[in-house]
Chain A
Amino acid sequence: MVATAQDAGSAAPGAAAGAVDRSRGGSAPVASLRNVSFTYPNGTEAVRDISLEIEDGRILGVCGPSGCGKSSLLALLAEIRHPTAGEITWSPDPLASRPGAQPRHPLSMVFQKDTLLPWLTVEANVRFFQTLNKERRADVDELIPELLELTRLREFANAYPYQLSGGMRRRLAFITAMAAQPRLLLLDEPFSALDEPTRIAIHQDVLDIVRRLGTTVVLVTHDLAEAVSLCDEVVILAARPGRVAARHPVPFGRERKVMELRERPEFLELYGRLWHDLSVQIRDAQERQDER
């Protein structure tokens, strides 16, 4: 993630861009948001003047007070909604030009609410992308058993979603999105309904799979510990309308052990700085609400 000139002034103290692990990323951004604003038809301004570059192969966290436009930002990236001002530009996939490289699906998303198809088995849910895109049959064929294995769902391949626990259903939703081999994966508070131990276990699965496939990720979350555990950089949005209020590179490298990471003093220190910035925005939002 590269801070634009406009955002550089708001970066948190000590958050030097050089501290970010760039062993994989650092190439051309997957997408660039330039002065993007979005207002709903009813006049509610969701986000204002956001400029960000989403770099290839990296994980960007987006946090902020409730209603600050985090999910609207994802909807803009997913082209579910379109900016009312500014523009989002996409760069060509560098992998597509490499000989023998498999084409990547542009984008998939894991939603906060369930998107599993209850009439399909676990494996059929993961293969859903394949059934929609017949030309991708061969390469997805190899990936699916691997994804089931990595998320410990292989022995449940013939079960139906209603037969799975909450954590297993979330893992399934995640690999269903990953089976498409997306260039950009959007995660919209996908693990917020899970208990802490289950969530941490899934974090490790997400990290392992996303790093292995070199997927670029934008994660929207309320959980700062989740953001620090998974992301290469965390952006704090200001209260509505959402604007970039602060940016924090996460200096823990690409290969992380989430369980161990949480015990490190640097984790707690970064968590504290994020919380400070977020609490400023929460107080600001409350004050503005009280004024109204």
Chain B
Amino acid sequence: MSAETLHASASATMTSKASFAAEQRRAARRRRGRIIAVQLLILVAFLLMWEFLPKVGWLSDRLTFLDPYFISSPSEIWATLGDLASGRDNSPEMWPFARATVEASLIGTFLGTVLGAGAGLVLSNSRMLSDVLRPFIIALNAVPRIALIPIIVIIFGPTMKASVFTAITVVFFVVFFNAYEGGRTVPPQVLENARLLGASKTQLMWRVRWPHVLAWTVTALPNAVSFGLVSVVTAEILTGTVGMGRLLLDSVTTVQASLTFAVVVVLSILGIVLVAIAEVIQRRWLHWWAQGD
């Protein structure tokens, strides 16, 4: 075979590989497009039913959950969202409330994650410590955190600190159990190899276990963020401190269905944004983790 023929053959192979990859990308785009279209269709159908079914008199008369007084309607909720954003029509402006909730959630989630990952690392690295402390941690995790909120309020007062501390108590356990498992699942031959290469116990912890702990911690991050947000809102409802929880409490006590749903929508959007940020961190830091498996 001549050099030209070889070159032509290699070029043809490369071209066919490139076109195959392009076709794969197009197929993936088409699939994503179909999924989004179906998701939009479901959402629009749901919103249309929500908007118009309660307007059918004989139906809302018979079924309480279709009474517009209790479930409002998407158009009303949309209008209320506009009022919340601008503070029109004697509506409270939501931004100070949202900022307080986001702040408390982020601080609580961050501290809970750091403490949970640290505890998971230390306990997974020491069998003695793990054997001694693990039963206490499991027992503490079984305590419903809502039951602790009154004590937290007594200690910190009805302040943002109470919300942050509540988030820490929830997020800590979510992260700890993941981090601990991460540290324990390091393959024994990897530890043995590092030991033979001269790693001390501290080096084993930081250079071999820690990346595994970090990977499992980051994997738990979307869940931790969700739990952090939910626990802050719960604390705000129970303590009445400034935040979306307080807004929710006010709307429920004054039976303003549109305001209640508007607050829920804002909280959902906050949750989606925070979880998306956590997922971006996960993808950036854990490319070796996802690909390696």
Contact = CB atoms under 8 A, between A and B. Distances in A.
A126 B194 CA distance: 12
Nearest to B199: A132
Contact of B207 (A131, A160, A162): A131
Contact of A119 (B189, B196, B203, B211): B211
Interface string A119-134: 1000000001101110
A117 B197 contact: no
Interface string B187-217: 1011011101111100100011001000100
Interface residues of A, number: 25
B208 A180 contact: no
Contacts of A163: 291
B144 interface: no
B190 A162 contact: no
Contacts of A108: 193, 196-197
A35 to B, nearest CB: 25
B135 interface: no
Contacts of A114: 187, 189-190
Contacts, number: 65
Nearest to A108: B196
A111 B288 contact: no
Interface string B22-44: 00000000000000000000000
Contacts of B187: 113-115
Indicate the member of A112, A129, A132, A133 with the most B CB atoms within 10 Å.
A132
A98 to B, nearest CB: 22
A132 B292 contact: no
Contacts of A118: 288-289, 292
B196 A107 contact: yes
Contact of A132 (B189, B194, B288): B194
A106 to B, nearest CB: 9
A117 B208 contact: yes
Contacts of A160: 287-288, 291-292
A133 B198 contact: yes
Contacts of A111: 189, 192-193
Nearest to B188: A113
B192 A80 contact: yes
A105 B289 contact: no
A119 B200 CA distance: 20
Nearest to B210: A119
Nearest to A80: B192
A78 interface: yes
A59 interface: no
A161 interface: yes
A219 B292 CA distance: 28
Nearest to B192: A80
B215 to A, nearest CB: 8
A109 interface: yes
B193 A132 contact: no
Contacts of A131: 207
A115 B190 contact: yes
B189 A180 contact: no
Sorted nearest first, the 7 A-B pairs with minimum C-beta distance are A115-B193, A162-B291, A111-B189, A118-B292, A162-B292, A119-B211, A118-B288
11 contacts: A80-B192, A109-B192, A112-B189, A114-B190, A115-B187, A118-B292, A119-B215, A128-B197, A129-B197, A162-B288, A163-B291
Given A132-B194, A160-B292, A163-B291, 18 more contacts: A107-B196, A108-B196, A109-B192, A111-B189, A113-B187, A113-B189, A114-B187, A115-B187, A115-B190, A115-B193, A117-B190, A118-B292, A129-B197, A132-B198, A132-B200, A160-B287, A160-B291, A162-B288
